[in-house]
């Protein structure tokens, strides 16, 4: 297990009738949430009539799922997840369906419920709705690194080129065959040795232009500083593929920033079983993907959702 600079986080440990929160087996900052099978079975049974089209067409139905899961699991489940995601020392957890189902429609419902306990989902222009399912396989003709299996997907945050906030990120594994490698690579900003040097550099506050690629279906340009503060803590917005430097000095700083992130020994590769999902605070966690080992039969499907924090 990768060591973070702090001791293992344990302030959100909990044991209740419907759920348990304890250590994540692969990262000292993350928690793993275990839901009781009876609560999950009751959830999928209660919402058996909901399908993904209904969730796509009727935004309040997404919150209906979240409310239903919170009721069935009970004992402050919503508040517990929200507290973890807002906690600067952690900001992330994994949770899964415990083998109760392997139906992709159920996975969409479960991911939607967990995400909407944290807050409303954002529109995902790549898919045209609030979630995106995407497959990584042996061959790919896309225009970004997202679906290119054998490339390292460098550390980044999501939502850089849209003008709404992207506070949280959820990734759920739907299917995996003939896949070796390809783990999620994660870096908590406070574990990055060079954070202060880059965050306090004059270009750290410079508003770079972000543009996206045709597959993202977003025509706009947005201006975003790389570093910003929430409370008194530095947060980051960065992805190498969409940031547009205007000078050699800009490009040099961005290249050094990415190289420093990639070289950080605090970056951890986290396995994610099929049917499990991870939620991360997108302001102080960076994510990427290790390359897969070459295999013509490679097939992996993930779902992503991104959103804002609920305003309470």
Q: 271: closest CA among 181, 204, 145?
A: 181
Region of 98-106, 150-158, 171-179, 219-227 interacting with Fe ion (CB under 5 A): 150-158
CB of 170 to Fe ion, least distance (A): 11
Minimum distance from residue 287 beta carbon to Fe ion (Å): 6
Total of chain residues touching Fe ion, rule CB under 5 A: 1
Stretch that binds Fe ion, among 42-50, 52-60, 152-160, 184-192 (CB under 5 A): 152-160
The least distance separating Fe ion from the CB of residue 239, rounded to whole angstroms, comes to 7
CB of 162 to Fe ion, least distance (A): 13
Element (H, E) at 169: strand 168-177
Query: Does 191 interact with Fe ion (rule: CB under 5 A)?
Result: no
DSSP state of 2: B
Q: How far apart are the first and last CA of the chain?
A: 36
Burial environment of residue 11 by CB neighbours within 10 A (0 to 12, 13 to 18, 19 or more): exposed
User: Taking Cα atoms as reference points, which of 104, 140, 108, 107 lies closest to residue 298?
Assistant: 140
Nearer to Fe ion, 9 or 160 (CB): 160
Residue 124 contacts Fe ion per CB under 5 A: no
Q: Looking at 51-59, 64-72, 154-162, 277-285, which segment touches Fe ion (CB under 5 A)?
A: 154-162
Cβ neighbourhood burial of 214 (10 Å; 0-12, 13-18, 19+) = exposed
Residue 307 and residue 189: Cα distance in Å, rounded?
A: 20
Pick between residue 124 and residue 158 the one whose CB is nearest to Fe ion. 158
Residue sitting closest to Fe ion (CB): 158
Residue whose entry in the numeric block shows the structure tokens 């949770």? 95
Minimum CB distance to Fe ion, residue 306 (Å): 9
Pairing of strands 92-96, 131-137: unpaired
Q: Does 158 bind Fe ion (CB under 5 A)?
A: yes
- Rank residues 31 and 242 by Cβ distance to Fe ion and give the closer one: 242
Task: Please choose, out of 157-165, 179-187, 216-224, 271-279, the segment that lies near Fe ion by the rule CB under 5 A.
Answer: 157-165
Backbone φ and ψ for 70, nearest 5 degrees, come out as: -60, -40
- In the complex, minimum distance from the CB of residue 152 to Fe ion, in angstroms, rounded to a whole number: 13
Judge whether 121 and 52 are in contact, CB under 8 Å.
no
Residues found near Fe ion in the complex (CB under 5 A):
158
């Amino acid at each position: 297990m990768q060591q973070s600079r702090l001791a293992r986080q344990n302030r959100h440990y909990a044991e209740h009738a419907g759920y348990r929160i304890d250590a994540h087996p692969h990262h000292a900052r993350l928690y793993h949430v275990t839901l009781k099978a009876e609560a999950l079975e009751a959830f999928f049974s209660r919402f058996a009539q909901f399908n993904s089209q209904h969730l796509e067409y009727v935004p309040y139905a997404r919150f209906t799922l979240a409310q239903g899961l919170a009721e069935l699991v009970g004992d402050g489940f919503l508040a517990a997840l929200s507290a973890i995601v807002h906690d600067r020392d952690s900001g992330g957890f994994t949770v899964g369906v415990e083998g109760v189902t392997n139906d992709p429609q159920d996975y969409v419902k479960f991911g939607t419920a967990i995400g909407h306990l944290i807050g409303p989902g954002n529109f995902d222009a790549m898919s045209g709705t609030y979630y995106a399912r995407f497959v990584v396989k042996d061959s790919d003709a896309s225009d970004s690194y997202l679906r290119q299996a054998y490339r390292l997907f460098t550390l980044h945050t999501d939502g850089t080129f849209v003008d709404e906030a992207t506070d949280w990120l959820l990734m759920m594994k739907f299917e995996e065959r003939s896949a070796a490698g390809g783990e999620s690579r994660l870096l908590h900003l406070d574990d990055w040795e060079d954070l202060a040097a880059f965050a306090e550099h004059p270009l750290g506050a410079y508003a770079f232009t972000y543009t996206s690629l045709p597959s993202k279906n977003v025509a706009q340009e947005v201006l975003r500083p790389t570093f910003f503060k929430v409370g008194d803590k530095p947060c980051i917005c960065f992805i190498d593929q969409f940031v547009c430097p205007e000078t050699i000095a800009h490009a040099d700083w961005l290249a050094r920033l990415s190289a420093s992130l990639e070289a950080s020994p605090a970056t951890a590769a986290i396995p994610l079983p099929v049917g499990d999902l991870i939620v991360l605070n997108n302001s102080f966690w960076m994510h990427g993907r290790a390359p897969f080992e070459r295999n013509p039969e490679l097939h992996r499907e993930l779902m992503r959702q991104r959103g804002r924090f609920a305003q309470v």
